[in-house]
Amino acid sequence: MKVLKFGGTSVGSATNIKKVKEIVLSQNDDVIVVVSALGGITDKILTAANNAATGTSDFHTELTEIRQRHHDTMHELFNGNEPIREVVEKLLDELEQILTGITLVGELTAKTLDRIAGIGERMSSQIIAAFIGAERKDSSLLIQTDSNFGKASVDFQVTIKNIKEEFAGFKGIAVAPGFISKNSKGEFTTLGRGGSDFTAAIIAAALDVEVLEIWTDVNGFMTADPRVIRKAYTIPELTYSEAMELSHFGAKVIYPPTILPVYQKGIPILIKNTFEPENPGTRIVKDVRNGFDRPIKGISSISGITLLTMQGIGMVGVTGISMRLFTALAKVNVNVILISQASSENSISVAIEEKMLSKAEQAICEEFEKEIASGQVNKIDIEKEVSVVAIVGENMKKTTGVAGKLFSTIGRNGVNIIAIAQGASELNISWVVKNEELRKTLNVVHESFFLSEFMELNIFLMGIGTVGGNLLQQLKQQQEKLLKEKHLRVKLTGVANSKKMLFEREGIDISEFRDKLAQAEKTSSLQGFVDEMKDMNIYNSVFVDCTASDNVASVYKEILNANIAIVTANKVAASSDYENYAELKRIAKRKGVKFLFETNVGAGLPIINTLNDLVNSGDRILKIEAVLSGTLNYIFNTISEDIPLSKTILMAKEEGYSEPDPRIDLSGVDVARKILILARESGYRIEMEDISIKRFVPDTLFDGTLDEFWEGVPALDAAFEAERKKLVAENKKWRFVARFENGKAEAGLEVVDASHPFYDLEGSNNLVMYTTERYHEFPMLIKGYGAGASVTAAGVFADLIKVSNI
Ligand code: ADP
Ligand code: ASP
Ligand code: MG
């Protein structure tokens, strides 16, 4: 035997009731069907009753709609031949009479409300039983409760006996209304809003059936409310406790009391979709079988909450305060959704439903009247319009750091957390946020590593020249591997060149990005790009700057302030005014996002990283000596009898080593920027003007245009060749060396002999030598390719991986 419960939407129309019939008839078993009222009817009855009582408006509007819905449904189901029309009509008349009565007395008691609240179920069960051709059973005669109208408590002993007797030897299909019950005096009561689930569970438990199936309008229990989180997906299995916690914190898919009776009997619950019956839905059982072993199973939330905080120095160490508080609230039927107590014990916060506020406030003030008067409790703080959010999962117990990750994720996204509570069972963590932050909070947590199969990194790339282009190629090649091996989904979410910009939340296909960008509607604008990134407001976003532009660097502050990380190959920001550099680092730190620029020095070589590691581990940098210009090193390694200086400069440009304007390299400015950055990362406050650069090319060549420069360079060839010959004879070489020592930095062309570490430095390689307190006698050397688009792109890529923290 099975119990199947169909909710309001499942029985909301004739079309849907036909689906229900198909599902019921396809069960190869005896079935008890529990039904809700036609979707929306209970709400209408309650509105009509309130209108009648307050006289604010006529209840007939609602009543007419209720009548019409039932007439239409019956008409369509029974083709005009309506066998139960009379029964339904009588119930509608009963509803009208009571509403009229309420209007006359101008008062609505909970008892009267319960007389009519369940009329929707009484009608729907008649219609559906007749349509399926099943026997109708009256739940209100079976389920006996106390007289707590509106949300009555079940007398299980009597109820179970009634149900057992009623269904003894039962075979076939029965249909019963959900939600309704009666007290021992035979007066109608109800089991609370959403209570049809509970009716079904009570019957299932009493008869010890094989399974309780809750049929609704979604594919089972999902990781979050699918109406709020588009990407929510079905959780295949949940334990009873997890389902209980999720529903307690607002997952409406199942009414929380439902779980207890079936849990005690070990009856599995299946949540299924009436509109997609083939979907397996969710199984709720004692122990989950398969490897759905993430620490967090789902997120849920409740809005319309008020947080009450009781504070007072006099509360510290006094026993019984919390007990008195909860007892006072319980006495007036105020349900406490969350409790949070500061470890100092001088404050206790409780989250309650907003509509209970005045009752709760009064109860607390009465209970603590003496303490308030004497100042032991100095105030009751009320924070309205907040929501409670909870994450739930049994595996949280086995996983450390969940709370840390959770709250840093939320904080990084700029959401303020008002209160936090963690159940001692470690099954859930719940917290309070302002209503207006709820959607973002849910999205952030859902988007983050808790629920997604994969962690996502959203890249917003500016500049698709050699470095940016190479980066995308590398990314394309690695995307699958990162996804498979690191569970990291790197998406190109936004991209811009100087003409157009393009954004796609789901990720732009990298193999098509050039065509797509060319056809994009949006014309490129720096501020437009920044605004779009901010508006998209996606968790784990990173702005990648592959330009060399001053303008782009000027928006870093705004980007970091929006909690978006930055990875940049552009040296402008880190080598700008010290104050600006320091401010960017400060913002990044405060916001908890990364600002990485490893490729600013030595392309992909781990030069800045190593420096940071040394400094962070307590070492002190005493001296830095370095060959930092791949271009200049290439030039001085390539220059020969056959290849004069002017030609090497041209070759360096063609090989992609030099900056677009090679004078930036030749002048030493590029090297100066790099040593400046290294000095700053070592902890020194230093400006560009503090660096002395000795040029090896006359100033006149830098003053004119680029064309004039190219024309003038060959004039230097002869002198350089003469000098070169001399160096060859002495077995010496030129190196353009940057040096930082005693707070001073300089750069210039030097001559080194064969014993110097800089002597063997092939091609465009870079070499950095750190002399530190620890690496004193033998300095630390880092050496390798220091220029070129592909190694630079690889360095940017490495920074990106660092942003994702895997
Ligand atoms: P019924 O009328 O069938 O009882 P309800 O409206 O009471 O249906 O519950 C189903 C609704 O619960 C879904 O439409 C969905 O919007 C909401 N819901 C909230 N949280 C969740 C969740 N975690 N998983 C699935 N549905 C959820
Ligand atoms: N019809 C009732 C309600 O809307 C009970 C239910 O549908 O579960 O609350
Ligand atoms: Mg429901």
Choosing from 34, 229, 244, 252 the residue with most ligand 1 atoms within 8 A of its CB, the one to mutate for a pocket test is: 252
Beta bridge partners of 428: 392
The contacts of residue 10 (CB under 8 Å, 6+ apart) are 16, 19, 20, 36, 215, 216, 217, 274
How far does the centroid of ligand 2 lie from the alpha carbon of residue 546, in Å? 57
Does ligand 2 have an atom closer than 6 angstroms to the CB of 36? yes
For atom 21 of ligand 1, which residue has the closest CA? Answer: 225
pLDDT at 406: 87
The contacts of residue 692 (CB under 8 Å, 6+ apart) are 745, 746, 747, 748
pLDDT at 451: 54
The span from the CA of 174 to the CA of 308, in Å, is 47
The span from the CA of 608 to the CA of 571, in Å, is 13
Min mean pLDDT across 399-403, 708-712, 783-787 is at 399-403
Does ligand 1 have an atom closer than 6 angstroms to the CB of 273? no
| Mean pLDDT to the nearest integer, 469-482 | 94
Does ligand 1 have an atom closer than 6 angstroms to the CB of 799? no
Choosing from 6, 16, 36 the residue with most ligand 2 atoms within 8 A of its CB, the one to mutate for a pocket test is: 36
Q: Is residue 734's pLDDT more than 60?
A: yes
Closest residue by Cα to residue 131 from 182, 193, 81: 81
User: Would you say 662 and 687 are in contact if contact means Cβ atoms under 8 Å apart?
Assistant: no
Q: Residues 571, 594, 674, 733: which is the catalytic one?
A: 674
Q: Is 674 designated active site?
A: yes
Does ligand 1 have an atom closer than 6 angstroms to the CB of 252? yes
Measured from the Cβ of residue 43, the count of other Cβ atoms closer than 10 Å reads 14
Burial status of residue 130 (CB atoms within 10 A of its CB: 0-12, 13-18, 19 or more): buried
User: Is the whole-model pTM more than 0.85?
Assistant: no
User: Would you say 436 and 443 are in contact if contact means Cβ atoms under 8 Å apart?
Assistant: no
Ion ligand 3 residue ranges (Cβ < 5 Å): 7, 194
Tens of pLDDT along 218-233? 999 999 998 888 778 8
- Bridge-based pairing state of the strands 188-190 and 237-239: unpaired
Tens of pLDDT along 249-261? 999 999 999 999 9
The contacts of residue 666 (CB under 8 Å, 6+ apart) are 632, 649, 695, 696, 697, 702
The share of the chain scoring above pLDDT 70, in percent, equals: 98
Does ligand 2 have an atom closer than 6 angstroms to the CB of 39? no
DSSP-assigned letters across all residues of 68-111: HHHHHHHHHHHTT--TTHHHHHHHHHHHHHHHHHHHHHT---HH
User: Would you say 236 and 284 are in contact if contact means Cβ atoms under 8 Å apart?
Assistant: no
Does ligand 2 have an atom closer than 6 angstroms to the CB of 312? no
- Bridge-based pairing state of the strands 2-6 and 211-216: parallel
Give residue for tokens 């004739």.
14
Q: Is residue 584's pLDDT more than 80?
A: yes
How far does the centroid of ligand 1 lie from the alpha carbon of residue 225, in Å? 7
User: Helix, strand or coil for residue 193?
Assistant: coil
Give the CA count within 13 Å in the CB-facing half-sphere of 349.
22
Atom of ligand 1 nearest to the CA of 274: 3
How far does the centroid of ligand 2 lie from the alpha carbon of residue 412, in Å? 40
* Helix ranges (DSSP H) in 494-606: 513-519, 526-536, 550-553, 556-561, 578-591
Most confident of 111-120, 229-238, 292-301, 590-599: 111-120
User: Would you say 272 and 279 are in contact if contact means Cβ atoms under 8 Å apart?
Assistant: yes
Q: Is residue 447's pLDDT more than 80?
A: no
Q: Is residue 291's pLDDT more than 60?
A: no
Which of the 8 DSSP states describes residue 649? H
Does ligand 2 have an atom closer than 6 angstroms to the CB of 220? no
